[in-house]
Amino acid sequence: MASIRRTLSPAYHDRSYQNGAGFSSPSNKFLPNGSSKHFSSSHLPFLFNAVNIVYRKGWRRSFCRCLFFFVIGFVFGIAPFGYSDTDVRAKDFTFPELKPPHANLRFDDQIVTSVSLSVNTKLLEPKESTDIIEPLKQLIVVTPTYNRGFQAYFLNRLGQVLRLVKPPLVWIVVEEKAASHETAEILRKTGVMYRHVLCAFNSSSVKDPRVHQRNAALEHIERHKLDGIVFFADDDNVYTLELFESLRTISRFGTWPVAMLAQSKNKAILEGPVCNASQVIGWHTNDKSKRLRRFYADMSGFAFNSSILWDSKRWARPFSNPIRQLDTVKEGFQV
């Protein structure tokens, strides 16, 4: 059977065939320095296959296309398509000059030509005497107290009332025999400026021990020369704020009627002075015992200036004996 042989391609002229025909590879001419070494026939098919794959994939065509589009994009990027003024000058950034609107000012008085920066240290004198602000008089509230069931309640109630009074105010609380820590704690919590005084007099044989407690407060005021209006406020009484404000109007001595419960506790009676302006012309009384009393006033129905106790020259007192309440008189006559 006749065999048909096709002409071999130059790339495959060294391939061996099944019929035993083959060509020797003149690869020695590709070796450097004319080396006579030959590649083995097993390496040649691998090399030709790799070259064939590279040519088939067309990497050169892809590389040329990428290079072509890169050059076009670079040219379009640097080419100017419009006009831009690159001449930046300082006058382009100057702000417009702002001017306030014109105002036509007219001075009715004289024109000010100069300004003096001197300081006048003289105080302006008030035109009227009513413009002078006088400081408030100090109130000196004297409260005798003793240990009993409602002592804490009475002191707290009176302390809350005194807390609402405008200062200056001094609350003198007098205890007998010993000063208790409970009373001191109550006085601290009220927030009122106070003085805790102790009466060391043995008042067990006295009908009304509060007389000696008030005398201890009067002695404290005289010794320290406290200036103000003295008012005796028992802790078991009820007082209004208007009363304390009216106390500051007293210059020397003042008295007023006091409402109190009758012995039957079913009605209120009024006891105190009948006044005509600043003069006492009579007394309100419901006393049926016909006891002769010079002043029908309650202990909480009068107040006086504290300087009477320690400034005898100011009030022209003929004697310098201390003013104290007497414990030898009957109850109700100490006033």
Mean pLDDT confidence for 277-298: 75
User: Can you read off the two tokens belonging to residue 37?
Assistant: 């070494």
Q: Could you tell me the sign of the dihedral formed by the alpha carbons of 302, 306, 307, 310, in that order?
A: positive
Q: CA torsion 234→235→238→241, rounded to 10°?
A: 90
Q: In the prediction, which pLDDT does 151 show? A: 92
The pLDDT value given to residue 195: 96
Residues tagged in the binding site annotation: 236
| Pairing outcome for strands 258-261 and 268-276 | antiparallel
Q: What is the pLDDT of residues 73-131, one digit of tens each?
A: 888 777 766 555 555 454 555 556 666 666 565 555 555 455 555 545 454 455 554 55
With cut-offs at 50, 70 and 90, classify the pLDDT of residue 278.
confident
The SS3 of residue 139 is strand
Inform me whether the pLDDT recorded for 188 exceeds 80: yes
Find the range with the poorest average confidence among 36-40, 62-66, 118-122: 36-40
pLDDT at position 87: 53
Predicted confidence at residue 83, as pLDDT, reads 53
Which residue carries 């099944």 as its tokens?
Answer: 18
* For residues 265-277, average pLDDT: 81
276 has which bridge partners?
279
Among 29-33, 90-94, 243-247, where is mean pLDDT lowest?
A: 29-33
**Please, which pLDDT band fits residue 333 given cuts at 50, 70 and 90?**
low
**Residue 165 pLDDT:** 96
Q: What is the pLDDT of residue 273?
A: 87
Share of the chain above pLDDT 70, in %: 61
State pLDDT tens for residues 192-207: 999 999 987 765 666 7
Which tops the pLDDT comparison, 214 or 50? 214
Contacts of 306 (CB under 8 A, 6+ apart): 140, 221, 226, 227, 228, 229, 230
pLDDT for position 36: 42
Q: Which residue ranges make up the annotated binding site for Mn(2+)?
A: 236
Tokens for 335, please give them.
């006033």
Average pLDDT for the chain: 75
pLDDT category, 59, cuts 50, 70, 90? low
pLDDT (0 to 100) of residue 27 = 42
pLDDT of residue 201: 74
How confident is residue 20, by pLDDT bands cut at 50, 70 and 90? very low
The edge-to-edge listing of strands for the beta sheet with 268-276 is: 258-261, 268-276, 279-284
State if pTM tops 0.75: no
Distance separating alpha carbons of residues 173 and 146, to the nearest angstrom: 10
Domains of the chain: 134-255+299-310 (3.90.550.10)
DSSP 275-289: EETTEEEEEE----S
Give the pLDDT of residue 54: 55
231 Cβ partners below 8 Å, 6+ apart? 139, 140, 141, 142, 244, 247, 300, 303
- 48: tokens are 């030709």
Strand partners, 304: 230, 253
- Which sign does the torsion angle of CA 309, 314, 317, 319 carry? positive
3-state secondary structure of 243: helix
